[in-house]
Amino acid sequence: MGEVWLVERRVGPRVELAAMKVVERRYPRDIDVLIAARERGRLMERAGVPGVVPVVDLARVGHRLAIVRPWVDGLDVLEWVEILRERDVALPTRVACEILAGAAGALAGALSAMGPDDADPLAIEHRDFKPTNVLIRRDGEVRVVDFGCGFTSIAGRSGRTGALQKGLVRYLSPARREGKRGGPPADVYALGILAVELFRGRWLRRLHLHNPSHDRHLSEVVARLPALEMRTPKDDLALRNLLLRMIGWDPEGRPTAAEAHQTFRTLADRAPGPSLASWSVAHLGPHLWFPHVDPAAPGPGEVAILGDEIDPSEIPPIPEDADPVASAAPRWEETEDGWRIVDEEDEEDSSMFTPPAASPRAASPEVEVAFVEDTATVEVIAEPRTTAKRRADPLPLRAGFPLMVVIAAALVGAVIGAAILALGVAIYFARG
């Protein structure tokens, strides 16, 4: 979607850390989507929805728009799972259940905050639920970010193309992959896919576009899950049945987020092993860092905070070289390795999650101030990042790294062997 900056948010005399996500690409509908997300975010903030990190402000940096939300001292689920995998540490069943219970509770709380009489219940959805939008705090608390303002929320139809290229399309429900509005059941589906991946210990590599092959394939995946280490076979069966309902093709058959929250919470309490709070002390805390800020040191700059009443003339125009909005839904075709978009250039394997590359921007960007509201400003104090990932050490290893090491070692060995052989032959003929 864009870059995440660590910023100071100043509201009157109060100063607090915040995260500012700058949208990388502009679309004509962006401002409407972001205004709606901010209004819902402020509503959830007033309601005190547990587990939700709401959007509290909008900003702009040059011609780009940005959202501002409170800072979360933690790691997203994707980053944490990758770190654990690099260290050959398995995620305990109880810990996974608590993560899923916290995420489901946040989705259910957001739905309740809007009220049962909302004029458009389908609009009350996250729309971009995925591992990078579920954060685990240092104390083990679960937080859900980017509610209604993530990648597939802003990019609209073209978001499905980008989701395919980034390996995120598997978190889109069948209805949303067809360009329809999914509503809260679509978020439950995405949570169910994440749940299967956490219990499976690996990211899913392929999904099916049509039913009944979709449900049959995922049923086989759930049936082949490793032993879930529940106390009783009844609890194991209850967990697998919940997963099957969440990832079902028919949205009417999926449980609500509140039901999923209650079931995961109950199963977590009945599962053996450490709690998320205690387990995160040893396996999460060492990979976090505290942002140290010198109040006396000037920051790289300030950005504009857009007020409640936004004048369209104050919004910089979309650059001429900006990506156009897709005029039609993409065409899909199923292959033996999954599925892809037809006639899409530079397409990538839809089955693999590809983390974004490091931001090429400088550590101290030049930020142009077009308008600053009197009551709130945002000061940039840290370098931009493509995601809010933080770690204490670089951790260069990835899943494919061991194979690369083996190949490199084999090539080096072959060169050394050939040199030794050539030297032996030379010595033999020299003596002969």
pLDDT of residue 392: 38
Higher pLDDT, 350 or 60: 60
Q: In the predicted model, what is the mean pLDDT of residues 259-271?
A: 96
Residue 432: the pLDDT is 62
Distance of alpha carbon 60 from alpha carbon 367, whole angstroms? 10
Give 48's pLDDT tier (boundaries 50, 70, 90): confident
Q: Which two tokens stand for residue 200?
A: 């499976």
- Alpha carbons 265 and 269: distance in angstroms, whole number: 6
Confidence of residue 408 (pLDDT cuts 50, 70, 90): confident
Contacts of 153 (CB under 8 A, 6+ apart): 33, 37, 127, 128, 146, 159
Q: Which amino acid is at 38?
A: R
Q: What is the mean pLDDT of residues 388-411?
A: 52
pLDDT at 256: 94
Give the CA radius of gyration of the chain. Answer: 24
Mean pLDDT of 51-73: 86
Contact 108, 258 (CB under 8 A): yes
- Average pLDDT over the chain reads 75
pLDDT tens-digit profile of 266-294? 999 999 999 999 999 999 988 888 776 66
Helix (H, G, I), strand (E, B) or coil at 143: strand
| Confidence at 148, pLDDT banded by 50, 70, 90 | confident
Beta bridge partners of 68: 20, 57
408 conformational bin, left if phi > 0, alpha if psi -120 to 50, beta if neither:
alpha
Report the pLDDT value the prediction gives residue 351, as an integer from 0 to 100. Answer: 35
Residue 360: the pLDDT is 34
Q: 365 pLDDT exceeds 60?
A: no
pLDDT at 335: 59
Is the domain 73-287 a CATH 3.90.600.10 member?
no
pLDDT at 248 over 90: yes
Q: Is the peptide bond before 212 cis (omega within 30 degrees of 0)?
A: yes
**Cα 361 from Cα 368, distance rounded (Å):** 15
Q: Is the pLDDT of residue 246 over 60?
A: yes
pLDDT confidence of residue 114: 67
> What pLDDT is attached to residue 127?
82
Give the pLDDT confidence score for residue 10 in this predicted structure: 79
Secondary structure class of 3 (helix, strand, coil): strand
- Is residue 354 scored above 60 in pLDDT? no
Mean pLDDT of all residues in 385-403 = 42
Going by pLDDT thresholds of 50, 70 and 90, the confidence category of residue 106 is very high
Confidence band, pLDDT 50/70/90 cuts, at residue 319: low
Is the pLDDT at 401 greater than 50? The verdict is no
**What are the extents of the domains in the chain?**
73-287, 403-432
pLDDT above 90: percentage of residues in the chain: 33
Q: Predicted confidence band at 382 (pLDDT cuts at 50, 70, 90)?
A: low
